[in-house]
Structure 1
Amino acid sequence: MQTVLYARVSTTDQTSAHQRKQAEGAGFKVDVVVADEGVSGVSTTLRERPEGRRLFDPLLLRRGDVLVVRWVDRLGRNYADVTETIREFMRRGVIVRTVINNMTFDGATTDPMQMAVRDALIGFMAASAQAQAEATKEAQKAGIAHAKDREEAYRGRKPSYSRDQLDAARDLLAQGTNVSTIAKETGLSRQTVYRIQENPAEAEAALARWAA
């Protein structure tokens, strides 16, 4: 019987070595480490990950072996995925254990009450893992939106003209063409043409800020 640690890390400030240290600190004697570095657990199933798929190889994990993970969220991307993955390992006779809270999921259990408690725990922990992942995703989206709002506030109002329209308007203004004619020929409003006429440097700068 061997103990296999599966570590999934998605950011640069995490390492599989750190997860191994945590596991060994919790009393696990790790024989093999399987690690996916820089892989999101929200968008990929265990079978889709470069190293995660190795866990389904019967030559790596056999009946009686122990699969250790920091937490159940390492085994899938959502509730259905995590619960099915744990059940599959249990059907194969693999014991799944977690570093956090030292939970054990063993398919060899035959007592109905123990099975009910075990299955309830699997569902609860998988649901908690999905809720946390979704909360993280929402926080990331909110952070991105906030950063975008700040960037747009810095850049000011987006120009209502394109590069071609600005160049055409400036050329016509230089030729002494009246504003109404320029507006008609370029498709710009009279107000926009007036702003370009009054401050051509700012018109150019606004376009540059928006990389238009």
Structure 2
Amino acid sequence: MPLKTFYYARVSSREQNLDRQLEAFRQLGANEREIITDKESGKDLNRPGYQALKSAMLRPGDVLVVKSLDRLSRSKADIKNELQWFRDNGIRLRVIDLPTTMMELPDGQAWVFDMVNNILIEVLGTIAEQERVTIRQRQREGINAAKAKGKHLGRPSISKPDNWDEIIMGWKSGEFTARDAMMKLGMKKSTFYQIVQQG
């Protein structure tokens, strides 16, 4: 049975688009049926498209093409484990951004490409993981800096109307219902209870 080639594309969120990766695959002659996509974070491997590839589609002798190594994962440990899984299952991984992985292998020369690819993959896996750590660190530093400046993070607090205290007192004493209080204040239910929780 002839070997098959599959293509895997991933972006981290629903807002991002896959166009750049899909265009690179089409230039290699991919058709839509061969392309599997995920819109999920690269922090772990629990993604429906990728898991379907591994469990139901890829067979020994098949080829899997990705645009760059971090589309597989941003974790160096996960990348190494996946590469081992591909090797153990006889699946050839090709990474468009790593030209040596795209070459056809002459008989007897496979070990040279394997050696070069393993070095590249090790280095790029380290870089991908470092990028993830740096992004998290920058986010933490940004939050700390905002807090230090006294900025409120999260939903902004809603200002109370002038007659708030008077109406709330009447509501709490049972003079009128919460619905009456909302009407008197001209507020939606969600806003009313949000201010009540703020105290």
- Name the TM-score, length of structure 2 as normaliser: 0.62
Q: Aligned equivalents of 2:125 and 2:152: distance in 1? A: 42
- Is the partner of 2:98 in helix, strand or coil? helix
Instruction: Assess, with a 3 A threshold, how the Cα gap between structure 1 residues 12 and 140 changes in structure 2: closer, same or farther.
Output: farther
Pairing 1:151-162 to 2, within 5 Å after superposition: 152-153=150-151
- Name the TM-score, length of structure 1 as normaliser: 0.59
- Is the partner of 2:6 in helix, strand or coil? strand
> Which amino acid is 2:30 matched to?
K
Task: Assess if the C-alpha contact under 8 Å between 1:78 and 1:126 holds in 2.
Answer: yes
Aligned residue number for residue 94 of structure 1? 91
Q: Aligned equivalents of 1:149 and 1:23: distance in 2? A: 47
Task: Assess if the C-alpha contact under 8 Å between 1:76 and 1:85 holds in 2.
Answer: no
Deviation at 1:53, TM superposition (A): 1.0
Aligned residue number for residue 23 of structure 2? 21
Q: Aligned equivalents of 2:68 and 2:109: distance in 1? A: 24
Aligned residue number for residue 130 of structure 1? 129
Query: Structure 1: 5+ residue runs without aligned partners?
Result: 156-166, 168-207
Deviation at 1:12, TM superposition (A): 4.0
Task: Assess if the C-alpha contact under 8 Å between 1:65 and 1:95 holds in 2.
Answer: yes
Aligned residue number for residue 61 of structure 2? 64
Q: Aligned equivalents of 2:17 and 2:7: distance in 1? A: 13
Pairing 1:144-183 to 2, within 5 Å after superposition: 144-150=143-149, 152-153=150-151
Task: Specify the structure having the higher radius of gyration (Cα).
Answer: 1
Q: Which moved more, 1:1-10 or 1:102-111?
A: 102-111
Deviation at 1:89, TM superposition (A): 0.8
Aligned residues: 153
Aligned residue number for residue 41 of structure 1? 42
Aligned residue number for residue 51 of structure 1? 49
User: What percent of counterpart residues are identical?
Assistant: 28
- Is the partner of 1:81 in helix, strand or coil? helix
Query: Structure 2: 5+ residue runs without aligned partners?
Result: 154-164, 166-194
